[in-house]
Structure 1
Amino acid sequence: MRKLSRFIFLLVLLILVVTISCNKFKDKTGVTELEEIPVDTRPAFDSTDLTAFFKKHPLLEKYQTEVRELYKKHQFHYVWYDKNGVNEFGSLLHNKIINVEEEGVLTSIPYRQKLDSIYEIAPSSHTPNPTTELLNTSLYFFYVDKVYQGLDTEKTNQMEWFLPREKQSYGKYLDSLLVNPSLIKKNENGLFSQYYLLKNVLKTYREIEKKGGWEPIVMDSAVKSLNVGDSSRTIAQLRTRLFLTGELKKDSKSAIYDEELSKGVLKFKKANRNASSTIILPSHLKVLNIPVAERIKTLIVNMERCRWIAKDITKSKEIIAVNIPAYELTYFKDGKPYFRSNVVVGKTVNKTVVFSAPMRYIVFSPYWNVPYSILKNEIKPAIAKDPNYLAKHNMEWNEGHVRQKPGPKNSLGLIKFLFPNSNSIYLHDTPSKHLFNRRDRAFSHGCIRVEKPKELAEVILKDDPNWTPEKIEEAMNRGKESWYTLKNKIPVYIGYFTAWVDTEGVLHFYDDVYGRDEPLAALLFEN
C-alpha cells in the first residue's frame, strides 16, 4: 500500500513538472514563441553579414531596421533553418509572396528569381546560408508591409482618412509563425474580417476576367424600359450578365422577362442601392456595363482600406459605424448588426470627415449653434435682404453668435448625438425628412442626419432603466434643451467603403460620392 502511495505521488509530481514545463513555452494565445527556445541549439551568423546583405540588396533596405531588431533579439541565430534545411514556414511564405496578387497587392517582388531558386531548386546542402536567411526575413517584412500594413499613415491622411491605425509588432508575429505556420491562414491573426470577404470576391471576379469578362448590354432602341413579360434581345443579354456575377443560378438564354429573371434583377438592385422594383432602365444597364476590370480595381481599393482598420474593431460591445458612400448607419451590439438607419452626409464641398471618436452625450430638444462659416456665407446675407429673417426661422442672437431655438423646425430636429471632435461633426435628426427618399443623399454641411434618430436613441438607451421609449419621446418634444451623459461611451466610426460584403454574403457596390477611389488606385497601382 505504501509503495502504491509513493507511485501515485511520483506520478502526480511528474505530471505537474511536465505541465509547468509546457506552459513555460507558451504565450497568452497558447503559441510557443521561438524566442523561448534555447538559442544555443541554433547556429548563428556574423552580424556584419547583415550590413553586407543590404548593400547587395538595396531594394529591401527599407526593412533593415526591423530585420536588425529581430536578429538582435535572437542574438543573430538563424530562424529559417531546421535540421532538413529551410523550414516549413519558409516554403509557405514563398508561396504567399509569389501569389501576393491574390491579396489585392499589385507590386513587383524584389529579387524574385533569387527567392524562387531557394525553393524550386533542390539544395545540395542543408548548411545555413546567411544570404538565404536574410532574404527570407527581409521578404517577410516586405510581405506584411504590403498585405497587412498597406500605405503609411502620411499617405492615408492625404486620402482624408483619419481613423486610428493599429500598430503591430510583425517581428513578434514572425516568432509565432515560425513555430506554428498555420497561423498565417487564420483571419483573426491578420486583418479586419471584411478584407477576407472582399478577397474571396476578388478571386471570383478575376476568374470572370480571365474568361473574357462580360459583354455590354445594349438597350433595345424601340423601348425605354423593360419589365416582367417583355421580350427583347436585351433581356437575354441581361440574363447572361446576372448569371456571371451570381444573381442568377443558371442562364436559360431566354429573351423573355420571366419571374426567375425578376428575382435576379431585384438582387442586383438591392446590392447597388436601386429602388426595389423589377423595371429595368438604361441607368441600370449603365451600372451593369461597368467593366469587370473596373470592378476589380474597386475591390482592390477597398481591400486596401481594410488594412487601415483595426482587426478587433467588431469585438467591442457596442459600435456605431457610418459608411459614407452607402448613406447608412449601423449600430453593432456584441459584434452583430442590431439596428440600421439611412443617413444624409456632407455635400462634396462639405465632405463628412473619415474619423473616429467616442459618443458621450445625447442632447434632447437641441439648440442649433450656427457655425461661423454658415453665419458669414448664408445667414448674414439673408439678414441683409430680410431684417426679419431670424424671427422667421426661430433664430436669435446669443453672445455674438446666432442660434436656432429648439423645436420641430430646428435644423437639428429634436435630438442630436455628440462625440466631441475637432471636426465639429455629430449625428442628428432633421425636419427635412424628404431627403431620405433620394437615392443619393449628400446634402449636409458635413454633419450626419439620421432618418431614425428616435429609434437610435432607444437602442442606445435600451439597457438604461431611466429611459423608456415614452421618456425619450417626451424629452425630444419638450422644447427645452437637455443633455444626457452616456454611462458607457460608444465608439463611432465614420468610414468610406465603395465595396462591401454584408452579413448575408451579398456584395454591394456604392457610388464614389467624394471621388476618392481613383486617387487611391493611382497610389496602389504605382506601387
Structure 2
Amino acid sequence: MTAIVKPALAMVSATRGGSDFSGDLMRLNRRKFLRSMTYLGAFAAIPATRAQDSLFDMFDGGASRVLRETDRDGNTAAAQALIATNEPILSFDTLHNLQLAISQYEPFVASGGWEEIPQEAYQLQLGVSSPAVVQLKRRLISSSDMPLVEYASDVFDAETDRGVKNFQARHGLIPNGQIDEPTWYAMNVPAATRLQQLYLNYTRVQNMAASLSERYVVVNIPAATIEAVAGGMVEQRHTAVVGRVERATPIMASKISQINFNPYWHVPKSLVRQDLTKYMLENPNYLTEQNIFIYDGGGQKVDPQSINWANITDAQVNYMYRQEPGAANSMGHCKINFYNPYDCYLHDTPSKALFGENARFHSSGCVRVDGVNQLVNWLLRDNGTWDQNKVDQTFASLQRLDVECQGKVPIHTTYITAWANRQGTVSFRDDVYKFDEQGKVTFEA
C-alpha cells in the first residue's frame, strides 16, 4: 500500500437512545486520546541502558529476579482490560472514536512513524537480555503500549511484558508476552499502513452506521468475533471461526429468521466434490464414522462403497449427503438461519479447539460460534417461553426442533480492520481478504 487516501471526516453526532453525548464527555475522550499518544515521536530520543544498570542486573541475578517479581497474570489482566468494553465495533460511537485516532496518527505518520523491530527480537520473552530488547521497548513506547522511560535497558522486564501484552490484546493476539511470529509481523506493519486502515474503516463504518437498528448482530470477519448489540451496548460477545481466504465469508446484511436445534447437516455439493472425495479416498470408512448417509433422487440410501470416489459422476455429486444429529455433526447443536444467496449461516461446532487460535479463518464460509447456546437464548428473547435453561436442555436432548424467531434480529457480516473505543484504545486486525489493500470501502449487499 503506497498512497494514503484520506476520507472527508464529517463531524459525527454520536447518539445513544436518541440523546447526544455531552460536550464534556467528548472533551474527556479527546484528552484521553491525547494522553495515550503523548509519547509518539519521543521514543527515538530514549537512550539505551546505562552500564551500571547492566552490572546491577548481572550481580543481582537479573533474569531470575525479573521472573520472580513480575506479576504476569496481572499484566495479562491489564492488557485484556484495555479492550474489555461494551461499546460495539459497528456504531456511531466508533466514528467519533476513529476521528480521534486519526487525528493522533496523522502527525505521527508525518514525522516518520515507528521503527521496525529486528529479526533478533523474534522469540524474546520475560527475563531475556538482548540489544534487541531496546528496540522492542522503543517500538512499544511509540504506540503507547508501554510508558515512556528515562533509560531503555536491554532486559525484557515486567514493563516490557505488560507492553507486549497490551500490544497483543489490541491486535487480537493471544496475550502471552512473547514475540512470537504473529506479534513480530504485527509490530512491523508500518504506521502509515495503520493510518490507511483507520481511514478506510472510518468510511466503512460511516456507510453502515445509518442502517443500524435498536438490536442487531455483527460478525466482524477480520476479528473473527460476533457481537450481540441492544440499545447501543454489546450484551454478548463471542469468538468465531470464519471463512478461509479461498472460501471467504460473504459480507452482507439480513435478518435472523430461524433456529434449527440438533440439525441435520446437508453437505454442500461443492464440498462433496472438493472434500468428501478426498476423505473417502484416504479412509473408505469416513462417511460411516462421521454418521453421514447418502440418498439418491428417489430417497433411497446409497452404499458409499458403490461410488468410485476417484471418478465421481455429476449425478453422484447431486445425491443428498446428510449427517445425522449428534456429537460429531458439523453443525453441532444448532444452526442459525438468515436469508442470503450464499447458503451462509451461523452454527455450533464440535471442533471447539479452533476458538483458541490467533487466526480463526478455517471455515468454508459459514460462521462457527463459541458459546452459541447463549446467543440462541438472546435471539429467542421475543419467543416468550424460551430461556437459557430451555435452550440448554434442547441442546442436550439431541432431538430435532425448528423454531421461528418472533423478533427477526438484523445481522451484518462486516469487514472492519481498525476501530477505537472511548478509553483511547485503538485496535487493528490483519487484512485477511486483502480488501484494505484494494482500498475497498463498499460491498455488495
Normalised TM-score (structure 1): 0.59
Contact 1:192 1:312 (C-alpha < 8 Å) held by counterparts: no
The structural deviation recorded for 1:235 is: 2.3
Supply the distance in 2 between the matched residues of 1:446 and 1:414 (Cα, whole angstroms): 19
Contact 2:419 2:427 (C-alpha < 8 Å) held by counterparts: yes
* 1:279–1:102 Cα change, 3 Å: closer
Supply the distance in 1 between the matched residues of 2:208 and 2:115 (Cα, whole angstroms): 36
Supply the distance in 1 between the matched residues of 2:382 and 2:159 (Cα, whole angstroms): 44
Q: Secondary structure of 1:477's partner?
A: helix
* 1:236–1:395 Cα change, 3 Å: same
Residue of structure 2 equivalent to 1:234: 132
Supply the distance in 2 between the matched residues of 1:366 and 1:521 (Cα, whole angstroms): 36
Aligned AA for 1:296?
Answer: L
The structural deviation recorded for 1:210 is: 2.7
2:6 aligns with one of 104, 126, 129: 104
Supply the distance in 1 between the matched residues of 2:275 and 2:287 (Cα, whole angstroms): 12
Task: Count how many residue pairs are aligned between Structure 1 and Structure 2.
Answer: 337
1:265 aligns with one of 164, 170, 174: 164
Identity %: 30
Q: How does 1:391-402 map to 2 (within 5 A)?
A: 391-398=288-295, 399=299, 400-402=319-321
> Greater Rg, structure 1 or structure 2?
1
Supply the distance in 2 between the matched residues of 1:104 and 1:194 (Cα, whole angstroms): 17
Contact 2:262 2:399 (C-alpha < 8 Å) held by counterparts: yes
Contact 1:240 1:251 (C-alpha < 8 Å) held by counterparts: no
Say if 2:108 is the partner of 1:208. yes
Q: Secondary structure of 1:309's partner?
A: helix
| 5+ residue gaps, structure 1 | 1-100, 106-145, 149-190
* 1:493–1:235 Cα change, 3 Å: same
The structural deviation recorded for 1:439 is: 1.1
Q: How does 1:27-38 map to 2 (within 5 A)?
A: none
Say if 2:408 is the partner of 1:489. yes
2:271 aligns with one of 371, 374, 385: 374
Say if 2:366 is the partner of 1:479. no
1:350 aligns with one of 227, 240, 247: 247
Say if 2:98 is the partner of 1:198. yes
Q: How does 1:248-259 map to 2 (within 5 A)?
A: 248-255=146-153, 256-259=155-158
Q: How does 1:23-422 map to 2 (within 5 A)?
A: 104-105=6-7, 192-220=92-120, 225-255=123-153, 256-281=155-180, 283-311=182-210, 313=212, 316-379=213-276, 389-398=286-295, 399=299, 400-422=319-341
Deviations 1:489-514 (A, max 9, x none): 10111000111224643211111111
Deviations 1:77-120 (A, max 9, x none): xxxxxxxxxxxxxxxxxxxxxxxx99923xxxxxxxxxxxxxxx
Normalised TM-score (structure 2): 0.69
Residue of structure 2 equivalent to 1:450: 369
Aligned AA for 1:229?
Answer: G
Alpha carbon RMSD of aligned pairs, Å? 2.8
Supply the distance in 2 between the matched residues of 1:336 and 1:320 (Cα, whole angstroms): 11
Contact 1:353 1:446 (C-alpha < 8 Å) held by counterparts: yes
Aligned AA for 1:228?
Answer: L
| 5+ residue gaps, structure 2 | 11-90, 300-318
The structural deviation recorded for 1:217 is: 2.2
The structural deviation recorded for 1:262 is: 2.4
Residue of structure 1 equivalent to 2:43: none
* 1:310–1:480 Cα change, 3 Å: same
Contact 1:103 1:199 (C-alpha < 8 Å) held by counterparts: no
* 1:500–1:147 Cα change, 3 Å: closer
Supply the distance in 2 between the matched residues of 1:495 and 1:522 (Cα, whole angstroms): 11
Contact 2:380 2:407 (C-alpha < 8 Å) held by counterparts: no
Residue of structure 2 equivalent to 1:428: 347
